[in-house]
Structure 1
Amino acid sequence: MPSQSEQIDSQRPRLLRIYNLYRVILGFGLTLLTSSVLRDGLLDLSDPPLYAKTSWVYLFINVLVALLLHRGRRDLHVFILTLADIGLLGVVFFAAGGVGSGFGNLLIIPVAIGNILLHGRIGLLLPALASIGLIYLTFFLSLTHPYIGQSYLQVGVLGCIYFAVALFVQRFSRRLYLSETLAQQQAATLASMEELNELIIQRMRTGIVVVGSDNRIVAGNEASAQMLARPILTGAALNKLVPELDKRLQQWRRNPSTRSTSFQSHSGSTEVLANFKPLGDSGDNTILIFLDDSTQIAQQAQQLKLASLGRLTASIAHEIRNPLGAISHAAQLLNESDQMDKQDLRLTEIIQQHSKRMNRVIETVLELSRRRPSEPQLIDLALWTSNFLNDFRAANPATDTIECEIEKEGILTRVDPNQITQVLDNLCQNAFRYSGAAGSHRTIYLKLYEDSSSQLPTIEVIDHGPGVAAEHVGHIFEPFYTTEASGTGLGLYISRELCESNQARLEYQTVTPTGSCMRITFAHPKRLV
């Protein structure tokens, strides 16, 4: 914060310009009174020649100082300037006839200006010199012009006025300085708070968009641009920039109690949940929109779900697995008996088959509940995909072929590679299963690319099998839902759960004319999982 002297220095040029303008005008006024025609009846001079010389000298000095204003900004220059004014105006006071002429009042302005620009004792020196000068000039005038009546009382009153003006100006200017300092401090605090608020809003994970009454965007932070996968342009129409968000805003305006549903700004983008709040009570219909990433909410719900599932599967292991083992063992013993006919043997095979299926379900659920938390790493998906294909081809029959298309090198994301390997392996196995019978020549397609609209890494697993019937599409990611007699209905469910724990999205897309596409959209590499 600048000191008082620094603030005075910043204001001094303006004050000096005003003061010099006053001095030039006063100089012209005094010189005009040198004409006997103009002063006739107004002023009775005691020494007209001295008055004329002093007035012209005063005018000349004032014009010269006004032209050289930029050179007189130090305290010494100001003191000399005001002291010269007091001296010259004192001579004018003497030539005009003393206190009766009223010219003593002209010294009030130099005293006041001097105490604005010069504080403390040096400022009080000016009224002291002015008072002493008037008293001396009054005394000398009484000696040289005894016929002119002089009043020392009036001179003393003028001296008191000079000191009163000096003290008042110093006190008043000090209060103005304190008020200005306080205002500057408050302005600096407000500016700092505004900058801090702007920084907090920009760095918030919650997206914020302000929409005016004309349905145009007023402001938006970085998080909202990332969630909507497009820059938030001030003044842009919301219905053109993000139609889905505009649709939910209109629904909220019609019925504010309606609960908003999550949406995607475009295919493959983040699932976003919008909440609306009127901005203030001004009635200008400005709306504050809060955007939350629903994948994080889903991830939290998933952790709660897995915790409950873990407790459930612990009881399943004790209550079902042991009786199931006894049933399977008994079926094996019956199968080894010589007294069993073909029909009974078929029944024991059915028992064995379904016991194994139930055991697989239990194993899968136990694996899901015991799953370790994700350990995300920054990986190059192109390199990782190549390594995955080498391992997959080595572990599967040569009749199963994967055609791979990688858009470019250096597609980065942040995931747990072990969990994503499990997901992609499951998706490829499902794709081969629907592409034909085991042992036949089957081909699926793997595509890795960066989505042009969202700039997010994407992997697609495509097969040209019969596809998923329309009535089943909405249920394929539900647990225990399957269209196969031998399936557990947990493969796609677990795959989606693993994707969500890595903030990736697993979606199903229909392929024309026939086939299925499982698409994994990964998070941005700079986004922490």
Structure 2
Amino acid sequence: MWNNATDTVDFQRPKILRIYNIYRVVLGFFLTLLTSSALRDGLIDLRNPELYESVSWIYLIINVVIALLLHRGKRDVHLFVLAALDIFLLAVLFYAAGGAASGLGNLLIIPVAAGNILLHGRIGQLLAALASLALIYLTFFLSLSNPSISQSYLQVGVLGCIYFAVALFVQRLSRSLRHTENLAQQHAASLASMEKLNQLIIQRMRTGIMVVGEGHEVWLANEAAAQMLGKPVIRGMELDRLAPELDQRLRQWQINPSIRALPFRNHVGGVELMASFKRLPAEASESTLIFLDDNTVVAQQAQQLKLASLGRLTASIAHEIRNPLSAITHAAQLLGESEQCHEQDRRLTDIIQQHSRRMNRVIETVLELSRRRQSEPQLVDLTIWLAQFVSDFALANPATDRIECEFEKEGILTRIDPNQLNQVLNNLCQNAFRYSGEPGTPRSIRIRLYESAETELPTLEVIDHGPGIDERHVGQIFEPFFTTEASGTGLGLYISRELCESNQARLEYRRADPQGSCMRIVFAHPKRLV
């Protein structure tokens, strides 16, 4: 604590020393004015005018030189010599002016006080002792030639006591001020550290935070907000230029705060955002605090609840359907094996068997969906994982089916359940091959893996060379049980999207150029919270 207080005083020492030097120059100027007999008449009766004039000019010149050259804080020994020199010259002027009657002994109080402010411990009291001894010695020396001055011993003794009292008081006051200033600096450092920590926390938060002014100009935005909006945020820019949808929702909220803002996307391919607002009253103007949250997380939680309820319902329905369906299938099989069954009836039993098998596949898919386990995300290197997937897919599928892989760079990471990703990508590849040609013929699809320049998120695209999806059906392809094939269940893309959302990823459809379909997976940030 004492070292910190000393550092505080050392920091203030140049300022204190500069004020003290100015005082000494001004004092030297007024002391030299008293060398003029016209100015000192009635003020002071000099005992030795020649000595007084010489010393006063020396005092002024030395102080001017010191003020010009020694304007910075020096070490304790330098300050002690400076204060001692000041005491010595003022004591000589005290002697030349005739002793205690001149009143110049009071001028030594300032060097003693200044020395005890700038110096520490007993070295400050040594200045008081030097000043007291100097006045006592000079008074004794004056009394040898003028016995009437011997009556001034009491006044000189009182001055000596005043010097020591000033030294002790100033030292005590200085310690108290040092301690107080040190505590203030510690609190200021603590507040500055807390402010830096708060700024770091705000910048590292996954929730986007923005502060906009009364005129909808952006005052502050953290890194997460810039990433979500997909644009660099510049202080002072208009909100409608940065995010028109967000500016519109802010204006609606200002008109009616009870209305819940709808989710929005700030750019094509960006995450779906949910905004909430909070007024921050200020003295001059009113600002608004905006919170931006990735609606994918909220949608994922709602989807989990929906799937849990749907799973229990569909599991019970599928169980109830499976038993009579088994009976129908078995009865149709027995009927087909009967000798009394005609060829036309046997054809009908085949139709029953075919559609029963289709219904059974739907039931199996529904049961698999209802029994789906919770995702277990882990950090995955997509480049390594995708290379292994392509190798395994080539072994399990015909040699006529070929996958072309494009990697933007190595080491693209995300956080996802690798088993569920394998299920999603396998389904997307099977669909892509289905629309790229007939089975048994040479077919190829393309997989691109890169990091989006806008969102900096890992992105994977499965591109086929088929005719593409009809524009009339684009909005329905992710709906359950929607299919354009007679034998399809319509659950493949629905399940794939649900698996992606359970891992905070997005599955989207884009038309490929010049033809074909592109199924795009936008993965979550590798540093997202599990």
- TM-score for both structures, normalised by structure 1: 0.85
Secondary structure of 2:476's aligned partner:
coil
After superposing the two structures, state which structure 1 stretch, 175-184 or 28-37, moved more.
28-37
Q: Distance in 2 between matches of 1:22 and 1:308?
A: 87
Counterpart residue type for residue 122 of structure 1: I
Q: 1:268 corresponds to which residue? A: 269
| 8 Å contact from structure 2 (residues 296, 504) kept in 1 | yes
The answer to whether 1:459 aligns with 2:455 is no
Shift of residue 483 of structure 1?
4.7
Query: Structure 1 residues 151, 234: closer, same or farther in 2, change over 3 A?
Result: same
Counterpart residue type for residue 398 of structure 2: A
Matches within 5 A, 1:49-448: 49-66=50-67, 68-69=69-70, 73-146=74-147, 150-280=151-281, 282=283, 284-312=285-313, 314-316=315-317, 318-341=319-342, 344-372=345-373, 373-374=375-376, 376=378, 377-380=380-383, 383=387, 387=391, 390-391=394-395, 394=398, 398=400, 406=406, 408=408, 410=410, 412-414=412-414, 415-416=416-417, 418-431=419-432, 446=446, 448=448
| 8 Å contact from structure 1 (residues 413, 457) kept in 2 | no
Q: Distance in 1 between matches of 2:132 and 2:520?
A: 96
Output one character per residue of 1:164-188: Cα deviation in whole Å (capped at 9) or x when no partner.
Answer: 3223322222222122111101110
RMSD of aligned Cα (Å)? 3.5
Q: Distance in 2 between matches of 1:33 and 1:264?
A: 85
| 8 Å contact from structure 1 (residues 217, 235) kept in 2 | yes
After superposing the two structures, state which structure 1 stretch, 233-242 or 66-75, moved more.
66-75
Shift of residue 360 of structure 1?
0.9
| 8 Å contact from structure 2 (residues 463, 516) kept in 1 | no
| 8 Å contact from structure 2 (residues 276, 292) kept in 1 | yes
| 8 Å contact from structure 2 (residues 446, 464) kept in 1 | yes
Output one character per residue of 1:322-364: Cα deviation in whole Å (capped at 9) or x when no partner.
Answer: 3322221122112222334456545534432332222111211
| 8 Å contact from structure 2 (residues 433, 445) kept in 1 | no
| 8 Å contact from structure 2 (residues 506, 522) kept in 1 | yes
Query: Structure 1 residues 432, 6: closer, same or farther in 2, change over 3 A?
Result: closer
Structure 2 residues without counterparts, runs of 5 or longer: none
Q: Percent same amino acid among aligned pairs? A: 62
Query: Structure 1 residues 86, 512: closer, same or farther in 2, change over 3 A?
Result: closer
Counterpart residue type for residue 467 of structure 1: I
Query: Structure 1 residues 469, 44: closer, same or farther in 2, change over 3 A?
Result: closer
| 8 Å contact from structure 1 (residues 207, 221) kept in 2 | yes
Secondary structure of 2:35's aligned partner:
coil
Q: Distance in 2 between matches of 1:391 and 1:281?
A: 67
After superposing the two structures, state which structure 1 stretch, 189-198 or 213-222, moved more.
213-222
Counterpart residue type for residue 478 of structure 1: E
Shift of residue 492 of structure 1?
1.5
Counterpart residue type for residue 91 of structure 2: G
| 8 Å contact from structure 1 (residues 244, 263) kept in 2 | yes
Counterpart residue type for residue 382 of structure 2: I
Q: Distance in 1 between matches of 2:153 and 2:81?
A: 28
Q: Distance in 1 between matches of 2:31 and 2:424?
A: 100
Shift of residue 393 of structure 1?
5.6
Q: Distance in 2 between matches of 1:319 and 1:419?
A: 28
Output one character per residue of 1:37-88: Cα deviation in whole Å (capped at 9) or x when no partner.
Answer: 3323332122323323433443344345445526982323323332332233
Counterpart residue type for residue 394 of structure 1: P
Query: Structure 1 residues 150, 59: closer, same or farther in 2, change over 3 A?
Result: farther
| 8 Å contact from structure 2 (residues 278, 289) kept in 1 | yes
Shift of residue 192 of structure 1?
0.5
Q: 2:502 corresponds to which residue? A: 501
Counterpart residue type for residue 239 of structure 1: D
Query: Structure 1 residues 64, 432: closer, same or farther in 2, change over 3 A?
Result: closer
Secondary structure of 2:286's aligned partner:
coil
Query: Structure 1 residues 108, 512: closer, same or farther in 2, change over 3 A?
Result: closer
Query: Structure 1 residues 154, 504: closer, same or farther in 2, change over 3 A?
Result: same
| 8 Å contact from structure 2 (residues 459, 520) kept in 1 | no
Query: Structure 1 residues 513, 67: closer, same or farther in 2, change over 3 A?
Result: closer
| 8 Å contact from structure 2 (residues 86, 111) kept in 1 | yes
Counterpart residue type for residue 459 of structure 2: P
Counterpart residue type for residue 16 of structure 2: L
Shift of residue 112 of structure 1?
0.9
Secondary structure of 2:398's aligned partner:
helix
Shift of residue 23 of structure 1?
2.3
Secondary structure of 2:191's aligned partner:
helix
Query: Structure 1 residues 97, 477: closer, same or farther in 2, change over 3 A?
Result: same
Q: 2:23 corresponds to which residue? A: 22
Shift of residue 224 of structure 1?
2.0
Shift of residue 196 of structure 1?
0.6
Q: Distance in 2 between matches of 1:37 and 1:469?
A: 110
| 8 Å contact from structure 1 (residues 444, 464) kept in 2 | no
Q: Distance in 1 between matches of 2:183 and 2:81?
A: 32
Secondary structure of 2:260's aligned partner:
coil
Q: Distance in 1 between matches of 2:152 and 2:55?
A: 24
Query: Structure 1 residues 389, 35: closer, same or farther in 2, change over 3 A?
Result: same
Counterpart residue type for residue 9 of structure 1: D
Aligned length: 523
Shift of residue 435 of structure 1?
6.9
Counterpart residue type for residue 130 of structure 1: A
Shift of residue 493 of structure 1?
0.7
Secondary structure of 1:275's aligned partner:
strand
Shift of residue 412 of structure 1?
3.0
| 8 Å contact from structure 1 (residues 46, 96) kept in 2 | yes
Query: Structure 1 residues 310, 103: closer, same or farther in 2, change over 3 A?
Result: same
- TM-score for both structures, normalised by structure 2: 0.85
After superposing the two structures, state which structure 1 stretch, 102-111 or 232-241, moved more.
232-241
Query: Structure 1 residues 52, 461: closer, same or farther in 2, change over 3 A?
Result: closer
